[in-house]
Structure 1
Amino acid sequence: MSFTGPSVSGGRTVKRAFEFGRTYVVRPKGKHQATVVWLHGLGDNGSSWFQLLETLPLPNIKWICPTAPTQPISIFGGFPSTAWFDVGELSEDAPDDLEGLDASAAHVANLLSTEPADIKLGVGGFSMGAAIALYSATCFALGKYENGNLYPSNLSAVVGLSGWLPCAKTLGNKLERVEEAARRIASLPILLCHGRGDDVVPFKFGEKSSKALTSAGFRDLMFKEYDGLGHYTIPEEMDEVCSWLTSKLALEGCSS
């Protein structure tokens, strides 16, 4: 599936095409109560997380693990990689690739759009995937993407591991102008986890993202920090994800 959006080059508008890769699905082993789209990090694909999520004691969740488009990445000097959006540097002043963010968030919403009406919906991810999960949370709160198109999914949970919040500086002002935003924010729980030893996405980015979301009105937010944890996940962190999802999605229970 591809999404296109306008960008300006040499004074004329051109379309960027986003060709998403293969999607992997972990079917629920028990009663299907929730569907969560899980997003991989930069340079990865849906297969690696599919293998891990399949082992989690969450029999009531269906996991959808898409693969990002392969595109030139500025931080790699234009070398192509699987990525949900382009990134030049990890800096608070770096410009956000709004077109890429919108395309990936729309892809996630599209994957959720065919789920049954009684199924709770969630988005989660690692690193750059976590950034898209948090961006999806803000689109849900605003009721629209940055390009103005309506955001269609009714999210019930968002998880971000070792990631950051795109467009953090402008979030508060945008939310203040949307009448329904406060109600949507109040209904959306968010779990953020970050390692203090992360040398790829520094811990301060996760911490600042947590504070930006809280100050914007996301009250049901848990921020878990892990001493010594680098840019990877560990069993203790995934245990936290399991218990948090079981609680917030009111799942009937974990299997061991």
Structure 2
Amino acid sequence: MGANSSRKKMSSPTKLASSKHTATVIFLHGLGDTGHGWLEAFTQIAKPHIKYICPNAPTMPVSLNGGFEMPSWFDIKGLDPKSPEDEDGIKKAAKSLQDIISEEETKNNIKSDRIIVGGFSQGGAVALYSALTTDKPLAGILGLSTWLPLHKSFPQGCKGNKATPILQCHGKSDPVVPFTMGNMTADLLKSFTSNHELKSFNGLGHSSSPQEMQDVQVFIDKVLPHE
């Protein structure tokens, strides 16, 4: 069965702004998860002028887990940097994220430079790739416990957002996406972007933490101020 043969329709748990909606955060969850938990996390740090969208990935077979079907943005064949990648799936997921950006622009009159895209782990990989392969200027990019997929296509494949603020966070005790992979991603991003920061967290595994979310809040407040 192909990786795309049993995709189910994506839905988007969303927290609406409590005042006039002038900015948006779009954040993608990791493999096997849903957007609901992340939406709750952002609710704790929400600002009234910002809408938060945490889409649910479609369900598909994942090679890494023996073909078991689960929420996934693309197929993962292995966690080693040299493992083959699902190029078509990554690009399709990136296009889906870019479509959400376009919808915010057309339906809600939110300019792309008032939108942050981000994600955790596999979702962060989609966010990084999507942000760097669109020519629409973004307010910021968030990558938590993640990596840059199809890394050999960069910097040549970068179409925009080279000066857009990027906050990358990674736990030093991550057993799933090792900190070394986060460091390699940071080195690559710094080679062709000009506003990148990597924050590391001692003792943090493949998860988030209150300190990390505080840093995320500071980043969001900085790049999406109230208008």
Correspondence for 1:165? 148
- Work out whether 1:252 is the aligned partner of 2:226: yes
Work out the CA distance in 2 between the residues paired with 1:80 and 1:195: 27
Work out the CA distance in 2 between the residues paired with 1:188 and 1:105: 18
TM-score (ref. length: structure 2): 0.90
Correspondence for 2:195? 220
Correspondence for 1:6? none
Correspondence for 1:237? 212
- Work out whether 1:123 is the aligned partner of 2:117: yes
Work out the CA distance in 2 between the residues paired with 1:15 and 1:37: 23
Give ranges in structure 2 of 5+ residues lacking alignment. Answer: none
For the 8 Å contact 2:21–2:49, the answer to whether it is kept is: yes
Correspondence for 1:207? 183
Work out the CA distance in 2 between the residues paired with 1:225 and 1:132: 21
Total equivalences in the alignment: 221
Work out the CA distance in 1 between the residues paired with 2:43 and 2:178: 28
- Work out whether 1:52 is the aligned partner of 2:46: no
Work out the CA distance in 2 between the residues paired with 1:36 and 1:185: 16
For the 8 Å contact 2:172–2:179, the answer to whether it is kept is: yes
Q: CA deviation digits over 1:171-215, x for unaligned, max 9?
A: 12334xxxxx4xx33431111000001111111111111111111
- Which stretch shows the higher mean deviation, 49-58 or 200-209? 49-58
Work out the CA distance in 1 between the residues paired with 2:131 and 2:142: 10
- 1:61 Cα deviation after fit: 1.5
TM-score (ref. length: structure 1): 0.80
- Work out whether 1:81 is the aligned partner of 2:70: yes
Work out the CA distance in 1 between the residues paired with 2:174 and 2:128: 19
Correspondence list, 1:3-82, <5 A: 18-82=7-71
- Work out whether 1:112 is the aligned partner of 2:88: no
Give ranges in structure 1 of 5+ residues lacking alignment. Answer: 1-8, 144-152, 176-180
Bigger Rg, structure 1 or 2: 1
For the 8 Å contact 2:62–2:68, the answer to whether it is kept is: yes
Work out the CA distance in 1 between the residues paired with 2:193 and 2:121: 20
- Cα 1:86–1:15 change in 2 (3 A) is closer
Q: CA deviation digits over 1:11-44, x for unaligned, max 9?
A: xxx9757433321111112332211111011000
- Which stretch shows the higher mean deviation, 52-61 or 62-71? 52-61
Alignment partner for residue 91 of structure 1, among 76, 80, 105? Answer: 80
- 1:95 Cα deviation after fit: 1.8
For the 8 Å contact 2:137–2:164, the answer to whether it is kept is: no
- Cα 1:163–1:20 change in 2 (3 A) is farther
- 1:113 aligns to what SS in structure 2? helix
Correspondence list, 1:128-207, <5 A: 128-140=122-134, 143=135, 153-175=136-158, 181=159, 184-207=160-183
Work out the CA distance in 1 between the residues paired with 2:195 and 2:6: 36
- 1:106 Cα deviation after fit: 1.4
For the 8 Å contact 1:197–1:229, the answer to whether it is kept is: yes
